[in-house]
Amino acid sequence: MSISRRDKFSNNLSNSQAYTLAEVVIAISLMIVMMGGMYFFFVSGMRQAGSGSKKLASFHRLRIVTEILKDSLRESVDLPSDGDYGDSIEFSKFYVVDGEEGKEVTPKTRKVKYTFDESTHKLLGMYGTYEVINTDIFQKVEFKKYKLLGKSFVRMKFKVSKDKGNPEDAITILHSIGSRYLNTFYAKQSWFPIKETLPEEE
């Protein structure tokens, strides 16, 4: 008795194992859970990367602003004596001028003023008529002028929020800067014995 090709195919189908509905549902559920987990980790990583880049940019701005302030104060040529903390400071500093032909270059100074507005949280810096700083990265900025062993210094106190959404969570940064010109002048007064070599205000 011969077996037809159709009968062989039918027997193979009946012997093969098919997936049940429960197995299909479980497999789809596992795939959904895995894809959901991958999506969650991807979104979470993107958020952390965005938050990290914002904090890095804020830190970079903070460093630039503090360096501008420190450089200005180091070049100051007049700092009043001791005082209490205040939200503004004013002094003079050197600026570069080109000498006219046939004439000597006389040192010149220009007024500099830094002011912190507590209502807008903005620190504004003016160098003569030029705006050198205009930023709102601080919660509070205070300046204090003092003398130590006959030398002039300025203490800067910055209050910076870790998170703008929570201003109360802040850290305080202190910098004490001395005037190179004034402190050298006090130590070596013979450097400027001639009146013509003293700086003139613009």
Q: Is the pLDDT of residue 124 over 70?
A: yes
Per-residue model confidence as pLDDT tens digits over 134-183: 988 888 999 998 888 778 888 999 998 876 666 677 888 888 888 887 77
Q: What is the pLDDT of residues 69-98, one digit of tens each?
A: 888 888 888 876 667 888 999 888 877 666
Q: Which of 98, 99, 80, 82 is nearest to 90 (CA)?
A: 80
Residue 186: what pLDDT?
Answer: 59
> How far apart, in whole angstroms, are the C-alpha atoms of residue 177 and residue 5?
98
- The pLDDT of residue 40 is 79
- Model confidence at 102, pLDDT cuts 50, 70, 90, reads low
Residue tagged 């965005």 (tokens): 50
Bridge partners of 110, per DSSP, are 93
Q: Which residue has the higher pLDDT, 92 or 4?
A: 92
